[in-house]
Structure 1
Amino acid sequence: MSLWTAKEIAEATGGEASTDFAVDSLSIDTRSLQPGALFVPLKDVRDGHDFIPQAMKAGAAGSLSDRALESTPHIHVQETLGALEALAKAAASRSDARRIAVTGSVGKTSVKDALAVMFAAFGDVHWSQRSFNNHWGVPLTLAAMPKQTEFGVFEMGMNNAGEISALSQLVRPHIGLITTVAPAHLAHFKNVEAIADAKAEMIDGLGETGILILNGDNPYTRRIQAKAGDLDVMTFGHDESNDVVILDSRLGEAEIEVKLDILDEIVTVTLPVAGAHWVSNAAACMAVAMACGLDLNKAAKALGGISASPGRGDVTRLQIEGKAITLVDESYNANPTSMRAALSALSHRSGRRLAVLGDMYELGADEISLHAELSEPIAAAGVSRVIVTGECMRALRGALPRPLRGAWVHNADEAYDALLSEIEDGDVVMIKGSNATGLGALTRRLKQEFAHVI
């Protein structure tokens, strides 16, 4: 059964089909396009229409286009991004899927992926791939949702005010989850209160029967709750006033166990991942399960099947010149809160601990102090040596005790050389920084040259 026919796409977008065809998926990138896909050419630095011939050569079944094309199956539309959004709305309207939207300063991708695993135990699930969470990724994900989907999970990110509102109104979720509010993207906001207000825009797409789920341990939750009006609001956290109460937790080197009280039912969740931040993530997932009316014990058991997402704590065993090294890849992104969470998780691992840390971007006027302040959680985590890259990380290096100061390097290649000169047999190496620091290239190189994934 196809995802969309040309006729259905034309009806949804107000466009005109050049011929009959059907598509099985959607793509905005010819490098990852699968045969049978609908190519959606969007305009950024380059005009995606320039890549339509490549898309067809890669096996696309057809394309959207804002101009008539000769000898190419296509839907002629007024504007391609608007057409993609219209197709996304049509996908939501034709499906009975329960739609769940996830945002937050920290944890949204990990929670989104965990929810997908949980929902798979109950029916057909569709979810955002990688971090498709912006004004392109969200409509692309929604438009690609099959009609028979029972649960749809959509990640929503933002850099500026107004962005979550637009995405939420597009998805119109039945449940909106805000994992937490923390100092991220401060370069674009006056303060953390403004970030909370931007996250609260999730409310804009929730209907009268929608449910908003908030982190009861977060100091900005009351601010968001005050904006919710008559919406049904649920919370998770350690205080007994929450709907999902965290009673106890046990943190291991590669596993956590969380004991929860959910409507006077005691539920234990065991996850094969490390880090105290997963305690809150587990509670958030179970709050969604409760909101959906799922069997709680079955949901908890399903969550045991999760794994750390690439660049978000996935663990790889390396053999480097006869030395056994454990690599903890946290390279996808970083802000002060996620950096502390990663260091806390590192503290539970046995072996000498090393960290390779890159700048945390978009922190605004306080960026230097926010980097220097990481010296305390680094010391608390028992890290022996720290290699840093980026101008702001100079401040952290200066704040560290001298025995902890490894090299300051310009790029991932220099970080590779510095790391190999530091490692000893049995070391645990954690690598983390904002995506643009390029430390992802370092983890990829280490994995390609030395890895055995566990």
Structure 2
Amino acid sequence: MNAHPAMLAWPHTEDEAIPLGLWDAAAIAAATGGTASEDFLCSGVEIDSRDVREGDLFFALKGETTDGHRFLDAAFAKGAIAAVVDRPIPQPHVLVADTMAALEALAHAARERTRARIVGVTGSVGKTGVKEAIFAALDRSSRGGAHRSVKSYNNHVGVPLSLARMPMHCGFGIFEMGMNHAGEIAALTRQVRPHVAVITTIAPAHIENLGSEEAIADAKAEIFQGLLPGGTAVIPADTPYFERLRDAAVALGANVVSFGKAAHADVRLLDSVPASNGGSLVTADMGDARICYTVSAGGDHWIANSLAVMATVRAVGGDLGAAGLSLAEMAGLAGRGARHQIALDDGGTALLIDESYNANPASMRATLAQLGATPARRRIAVLGAMKELGDFTPAFHAALVEPLAASGAEFAVLVGPEMDALARELGKAAGNTLGKPIRFAHCANTDEAIAALSAFGLEGGDAVLVKGSNSVGLAGLVAHFSGKGG
């Protein structure tokens, strides 16, 4: 054969010898201890038959109310190449004793085989946005070589699923970890085993189950238990629980990098000014260098988030320049800051800020402040109940009267019985002749909220914030007015 010797030596790098497929039947069987019915090669892993794509491996998981084996025909009809099952089926499969245990085993195998630098992200507020921003930065600098957990796949099923989906050849992996109870993040971080563990902030989310913010800080600090030796803990410098988080990290041998406004922060905010795109121009001190970059997302909370992103990118050896470009271009996520321009009958447009996926006292204050900083002819707030606050529910909802008033909102739509406390506070203000009271409507559900906002009437130049816990269902209101989503 007449060919250049270098061509004959192909593949000439270790990475080029890695198979393009995600998993083959033999590797899945070896990882799970199962038996493969035949050879196959899958390109993805899925647990929901509705989301299956051509070439996916479908895990038939058993839940409390349903069994994935019932949806095998649907999965194969959508293009699944094979399934992991606990009973024989006619289609290509790997037979295991327990499909959930098999998913965890495949996740372990994915973590064992990768050479990627791994980042774990948790926090009471902002973890999904920060995870996405870190991914965008590292994916940009590695030219598509980053992997992350999609959506909010951050629990005992989502984390192993995200790990099992990680390609062998990726350079970075970013995984989100959430919790409702103590001990849950400890279990997840031991699966992820990050090189860098990030805590975005500590706030009274899930305080109903944990009882205090100190307990929440301790539960979030569990992420350090999975850090690899010599790993880095990225923590907020401005939280009252900074020393608590720092000490937990140091006790486990971590290197600590803090971020924030505080004088002791390792990545410290020096200055921020409003940018023309509604975001911020940020200058930060990283100890040995100063950096300046633009954050497209609005609000002080995203300035803090950007510092966490920069600290993390540097800790895994990423490109800070690429990180800055990514932060400047990053669009808001659905339910987490996405902005929609609503065309109105009068020919004008209104801005709708979609924060409908989650809510707790800290994020409510942050997004109301963002509404106040948004240029608008009128400002309107649609606020859904904050869940999992337990005995603290009335006090935390009543306390929203201050940030709501500071936002300059002219009209508020309050959704859910938990909003009774805020409605009472607004009612008191309306009875006070001093100052301009905020008009409001208290609604039982999303349908009533849609009707209340429609009756108020949107006009050109309005800005509407929609914020609430996901279970309130305000995504339906966003879809109604924006014409997007379900």
TM-score over 0.5 for the pair: yes
1:132-211 alignment runs, 5 A limit: 132-211=153-232
What code does the residue aligned with 2:169 have? Answer: Q
Distance 2:358 2:261 in 1: 27
1:347-362 alignment runs, 5 A limit: 347-351=372-376, 352-362=378-388
Among 432, 436, 441, the residue aligned to 1:407 = 441
What code does the residue aligned with 2:160 have? Answer: P
Contact kept? 1:267, 1:297, Cα under 8 Å: no
Residues 1:38 and 2:57 are matched in the alignment:
yes
1:45-444 alignment runs, 5 A limit: 45-69=65-89, 71-123=90-142, 124-228=145-249, 229=251, 230-252=253-275, 254-322=278-346, 323-351=348-376, 352-400=378-426, 401-402=429-430, 403-422=437-456, 423-444=458-479
Contact kept? 1:397, 1:405, Cα under 8 Å: no
**3-state SS in 2 of match to 1:226:** helix
Task: After superposition, give the CA deviation of every residue in 1:387-428 in whole Å (9 maximum; x if it has no partner).
Answer: 111111121111123231321112111111110111233211
Following superposition, the deviation at residue 255 of structure 1 comes to: 1.4
What code does the residue aligned with 1:235 have? Answer: S
Contact kept? 2:49, 2:74, Cα under 8 Å: yes
Following superposition, the deviation at residue 293 of structure 1 comes to: 2.7
Distance 2:240 2:225 in 1: 22
Contact kept? 1:193, 1:220, Cα under 8 Å: yes
Following superposition, the deviation at residue 321 of structure 1 comes to: 2.5
Contact kept? 1:251, 1:348, Cα under 8 Å: no
Distance 1:326 1:304 in 2: 20
**3-state SS in 1 of match to 2:311:** helix
**3-state SS in 2 of match to 1:260:** strand
Task: After superposition, give the CA deviation of every residue in 1:22-53 in whole Å (9 maximum; x if it has no partner).
Answer: 11111111111111101112121101111111
Segments of structure 2 that go 5 or more residues without pairing to the other structure are 1-19, 431-436
Following superposition, the deviation at residue 242 of structure 1 comes to: 1.7
What code does the residue aligned with 2:415 have? Answer: T
Contact kept? 1:251, 1:275, Cα under 8 Å: no
Following superposition, the deviation at residue 264 of structure 1 comes to: 2.6
1:441-452 alignment runs, 5 A limit: 441-448=476-483
CA RMSD of aligned residues (A): 1.4
Following superposition, the deviation at residue 295 of structure 1 comes to: 3.6
What code does the residue aligned with 1:22 have? Answer: L
**3-state SS in 2 of match to 1:153:** strand
Moved over 4 A (4+): none
Contact kept? 1:174, 1:211, Cα under 8 Å: yes
Contact kept? 2:116, 2:171, Cα under 8 Å: yes
Distance 1:302 1:426 in 2: 29
Contact kept? 2:296, 2:327, Cα under 8 Å: no
Task: After superposition, give the CA deviation of every residue in 1:83-120 in whole Å (9 maximum; x if it has no partner).
Answer: 11111111111111101000000000000000111001
Distance 1:222 1:42 in 2: 41
State the identity %: 44
Q: Which residue of 1 is the match for residue 5 of structure 2?
A: none
CA change 1:62–1:432 in 2 (3 A) is: same
**3-state SS in 1 of match to 2:87:** coil
Following superposition, the deviation at residue 227 of structure 1 comes to: 1.7
Residues 1:19 and 2:38 are matched in the alignment:
yes
Distance 2:452 2:202 in 1: 35
Distance 1:38 1:449 in 2: 30
Following superposition, the deviation at residue 121 of structure 1 comes to: 2.1
**3-state SS in 2 of match to 1:121:** helix
What code does the residue aligned with 1:436 have? Answer: S
TM-score by length of 1: 0.96
**3-state SS in 2 of match to 1:347:** helix
What code does the residue aligned with 1:302 have? Answer: S
**3-state SS in 1 of match to 2:61:** coil
What code does the residue aligned with 2:147 have? Answer: H
TM-score by length of 2: 0.90
